[in-house]
Chain A
Amino acid sequence: MFQHYIQLVAIKVAANLQAEVSRHYLSYLWWVFEPILHMLVFYIIFNMLLRRGTENFVAYLLTGLIPWLWFNKTIANSMMSIIQGRGLMMQVHLPKIILPTIVIFQDFVKQSIVMVLLIIFLFAYGIKPSVYWFALPALILTQLCLISACAYFTASIVPFLPDLKFLVGAGLQMMMFGSGIFYSTEAIPAKYHRFFFMNPMANLINNYRKIFLYNQWPDWHALLLIFEISLVFILIMSLVIKKLDHIYPRVVL
């Protein structure tokens, strides 16, 4: 049964991606253009207007922005997944956790492509590849777990309190500003560093930069901690969603 649902998720992810591509004129290119557009905005404001840019500012921005956009988009997309599965869940009984899972993997596939392009870009930008780049899979896996935990959490709650989606939007905005995407973490007074890195995304982004830009190994302790806490959360949330399987069809009416 479990295998059946994995197959179902895989087929649905592939089909959704295909549909998404055929829907837009520029299809796959949007996955790349989007982070570039975001980057341009930040580049113009912080480097050209405010003159706050750091060294290698484009590379600095991209290494922060691309992981952040992955997180941001998956949460925003999965938030409504159970509500949008309304038509389906009225017809058949299905484990509702499938719905956010499809979104998570759909965005993961897109992110993988963007990640590859980021590496190509960094290379072309003149940043020398180093042995530290091999830590990337560990970073991606940790982030995938973190994203899944957050996505399951929001997806499971929003059907009960639809108003929460406004709060989630504001929360994501706040988190973006608190993740050090477009400013250097050195700008933050040292005594606040502990609090700053309690934000898992700030922590992850800092680690992405460590391996890509600063020729350092990531902070393994922090990664492991994020990984473990996320895993526990995923487990709890999947149990909660399973418990609520028969409740959702009544709630999302």
Chain B
Amino acid sequence: MTKELLISLENIGVSFSVGKSIFRKERIQAIRDVSLELYRGDSLGVIGRNGAGKSTLLQILGGIILPDTGKIINNKATTSLMALQAGFDPELSGRMNILVGGMLLGFRKKDVKKNMDKIIAFSELENFIDSPVKAYSTGMKARLGFSLALEMNPDVLLIDEVLGVGDVQFQKKAVAVMKEKFLSDQTIVLVSHSAATVKTLCNRAVWIENGITHMTGQADEVVTAYEAFVRGNRKI
């Protein structure tokens, strides 16, 4: 049985111009040449060292920025990035942020409202949900973001290392539901520099080195090669 292709990237390149003033501009090549294919039901891990271009890749998959070079084919898959806390408005209450955040992710008002209680219950923030988010601790914000993201079921869920959320107890809960998500039909792209996470959660993996796809394949194969490479590098 052939799987349904959701998104494919062909030789993607992205560069950012970092200008301190109009007289001095620098270009930074975040991604040089990345290709990958994402099929329905895949859980694809993206590994690479810091600055390899992993987060930029997620932004491309999420349709937030467009690549400078290369081709991106999206077969009408909705994507959303799971790490919404940065987009929360600190002045608004937790409840309002769920509503606005959910709608920003493309959900209809009534759908978000329907799920509201479930989201609040999962975040365990019942006592704070009507106070402004600026009064939340970092952990509480992360819990709110995680709970909101969990209730959405886009075609492709993009995750940027969010498993370290909240206190130990919440983390256990989070890891458990994440594992469930990974085992289900949900298509997931997980970006991580922790090779072990990718190995346990993903079935396929892409290794990016300096903005270039270094290796694509089964998760354990790619991770093994990556770990060997990192260890080798350290010796030198």
Which of chain B's residues have a CB closer than 8 A to the CB of A249?
A: 59, 64-65
Which of chain B's residues have a CB closer than 8 A to the CB of A90?
A: 59, 64, 86-87
Which of chain A's residues have a CB closer than 8 A to the CB of B150?
A: none
The reply on A250 being an interface residue by CB < 8 A is: yes
Complex contact A19–B132 (CB within 8 A): yes
Which of chain A's residues have a CB closer than 8 A to the CB of B100?
A: 8, 11-12, 15
Which of chain A's residues have a CB closer than 8 A to the CB of B117?
A: none
Which of chain A's residues have a CB closer than 8 A to the CB of B22?
A: 161
Closest B-chain residue to A14, C-beta based?
A: B96
Complex contact A88–B104 (CB within 8 A): yes
The reply on B192 being an interface residue by CB < 8 A is: no
Contact digits for A18-45, partner B, Cβ 8 Å, 1 yes 0 no:
0110110000000000000000000000
The reply on A4 being an interface residue by CB < 8 A is: yes
Contact digits for B128-143, partner A, Cβ 8 Å, 1 yes 0 no:
0000100000000000
Q: A90-B64, A91-B84 are in contact. Are A11 and B109 (CB under 8 A)?
A: yes
Complex contact A92–B103 (CB within 8 A): no
Contact digits for B78-108, partner A, Cβ 8 Å, 1 yes 0 no:
0011011011110111001001100111101
Which of chain A's residues have a CB closer than 8 A to the CB of B81?
A: 91-92
Q: A19-B132, A246-B66 are in contact. Are A8 and B103 (CB under 8 A)?
A: yes
Closest A-chain residue to B17, C-beta based?
A: A250
Contact digits for A233-253, partner B, Cβ 8 Å, 1 yes 0 no:
000000000000010011001
Which of chain B's residues have a CB closer than 8 A to the CB of A19?
A: 89, 91-93, 132
Chain B residues with a Cβ closer than 8 Å to the other chain, count? 31
Q: A residues touching B (Cβ–Cβ < 8 Å)?
A: 4, 7-8, 11-12, 15-16, 19-20, 22-23, 87-94, 161, 246, 249-250, 253
Closest chain-A Cβ to B15's Cβ sits at a distance in Å of 9
Complex contact A92–B87 (CB within 8 A): yes
The prevalent SS among residues of A at the interface is helix
CA distance A91 to B96 in the complex (A): 18
CA distance A91 to B79 in the complex (A): 11
Q: B residues touching A (Cβ–Cβ < 8 Å)?
A: 16-18, 22, 59, 62-66, 80-81, 83-84, 86-89, 91-93, 96, 99-100, 103-106, 108-109, 132
CA distance A250 to B63 in the complex (A): 12
Q: A11-B103, A16-B91, A19-B91 are in contact. Are A93 and B96 (CB under 8 A)?
A: no
Most A CB contacts (10 A, CB to CB) among B22, B63, B80, B87 go to B87
CA distance A161 to B25 in the complex (A): 13
Which of chain A's residues have a CB closer than 8 A to the CB of B66?
A: 246
Closest chain-A Cβ to B162's Cβ sits at a distance in Å of 12
CA distance A15 to B109 in the complex (A): 14
Which of chain A's residues have a CB closer than 8 A to the CB of B59?
A: 90, 249
